């Protein structure tokens, strides 16, 4: 009960932060900028939602295929339709509750494909690690290709957060985290060895091995190149969708192709701050576009259009997947019911 309350409070905080950012980003605009903002939204090319829809949908399908590749390395071969639906319902859940989507997509696939949930958790951790690596590659490309634009900003950021007078405090925190992780490892190992006769400990050990098995799935990949291809393709779709989004309004249509890298970096950070990037996504995209001398009003307008496009895609496709999942597995459920009888 207490754990659920803490989760609700955390969600309420981040959702409240998102709503505050929505209010703040609009409230701080001058009357002139607000009029420009409204005009940009009224004159925007909403037909661009169509190519963006297909580009981002392709990234979601690719993510489902990549997840399927990981599961196949463990001896499971779920249907792509179920995997894709689980991915989309997971995205939908993340808009409602941060990180709930990761849990929900595992439980959905475990329900319809009988893949152990603990092993699925391991594959999710692998995916997240690959996404973090991909994100850092995008950051590096941003710095290498757009150094004259983002170099000063990056330098100021590093000086403020990593090279400040509180460096010793940061090192202490990192050291405490590392020591804690090592301590947890040895304590867990001791408990699994000393108290394995207890049923609850046996269950914990099974879950632990399931997660580890999921993590090791990346080592057993039979088609590593396909996994790498889909990892590159997913982030290429993100970049392509962002670039197409620039053409939604005239004032951002001049942005160069390589500007999509730093803009995507800012947008990705926004999704880490608030659920689904609500409030923070348009604000940070505007900050990124300021580096390219795009006026605040037009940067905000483009940010809201790009966020809305992503939100609508996940909302529509997510609810469709949620509705069709039982029908896609109707035959399987009927067979299961007959066997139990």
8 Å CB contact between 217 and 123: yes
- Whole-angstrom CA distances from 151 to 13, 272, 310 are 33, 23, 29
How much is the pLDDT for 4?
Answer: 53
Question: Tokens for 225?
Answer: 């190149």
| pLDDT for the residue 234 | 96
Could you state, in order of their start, the residue ranges of all structural domains in the chain? 48-331
* pLDDT digits 0-9 by tens, 292-338: 988 888 888 898 889 888 888 888 898 899 888 888 887 655 544 43
For residue 150, the model assigns a pLDDT of 73
Are 55 and 244 a contacting pair, CB within 8 Å?
yes
Residue 277's region, left for phi above 0, alpha for psi from -120 to 50, else beta, is: left
pTM of the model: 0.74
Task: Report, as ranges of residue numbers, the positions in the chain whose pLDDT lies below 70.
Answer: 1-34, 37, 96, 98-99, 151-174, 177, 181, 184-186, 188-220, 331-341
């Amino acid at each position: 009960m207490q754990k659920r309350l803490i989760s609700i409070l955390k969600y309420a905080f981040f959702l409240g932060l998102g709503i505050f950012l929505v209010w703040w980003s609009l409230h701080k605009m001058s009357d002139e900028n607000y009029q420009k903002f409204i005009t940009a939204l009224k004159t925007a090319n909403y037909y661009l939602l169509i190519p963006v829809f297909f580009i981002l949908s392709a990234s979601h399908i690719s993510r489902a295929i990549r997840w399927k590749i990981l599961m196949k390395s463990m001896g499971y071969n779920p249907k792509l339709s179920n995997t894709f639906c689980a991915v989309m319902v997971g995205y939908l859940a993340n808009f409602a509750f941060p990180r709930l989507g990761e849990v929900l997509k595992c439980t959905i696939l475990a329900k319809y494909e009988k893949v152990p949930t603990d092993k699925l958790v391991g594959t999710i951790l692998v995916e997240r690690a690959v996404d973090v690596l991909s994100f850092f590659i995008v950051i590096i490309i941003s710095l290498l290709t757009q150094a004259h634009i983002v170099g000063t900003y990056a330098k100021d950021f590093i000086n403020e957060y990593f090279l400040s007078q509180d460096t010793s405090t940061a090192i202490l925190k990192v050291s405490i985290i590392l020591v804690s992780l090592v301590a947890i490892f040895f304590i867990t190992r001791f408990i699994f060895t000393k108290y394995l006769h207890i049923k609850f400990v046996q269950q914990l050990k099974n879950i632990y091995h399931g997660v580890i098995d999921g993590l090791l799935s990346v080592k057993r990949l039979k088609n590593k190149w396909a996994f790498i291809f889909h990892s590159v393709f997913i982030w290429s779709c993100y970049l392509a969708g962002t670039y197409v989004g620039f053409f939604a309004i005239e004032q951002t249509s001049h942005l160069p192709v390589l500007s999509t890298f730093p803009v995507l970096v800012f947008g990705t950070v926004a999704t880490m701050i608030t659920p689904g990037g609500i409030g923070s996504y348009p604000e940070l995209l505007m900050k990124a576009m300021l580096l390219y001398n795009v006026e605040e009003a037009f940067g905000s307008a483009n940010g809201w259009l790009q966020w809305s496009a992503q939100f609508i895609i996940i909302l529509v496709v997510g609810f469709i997947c949620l509705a069709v999942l039982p029908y896609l597995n109707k035959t399987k459920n009927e067979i299961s019911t007959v066997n139990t009888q």
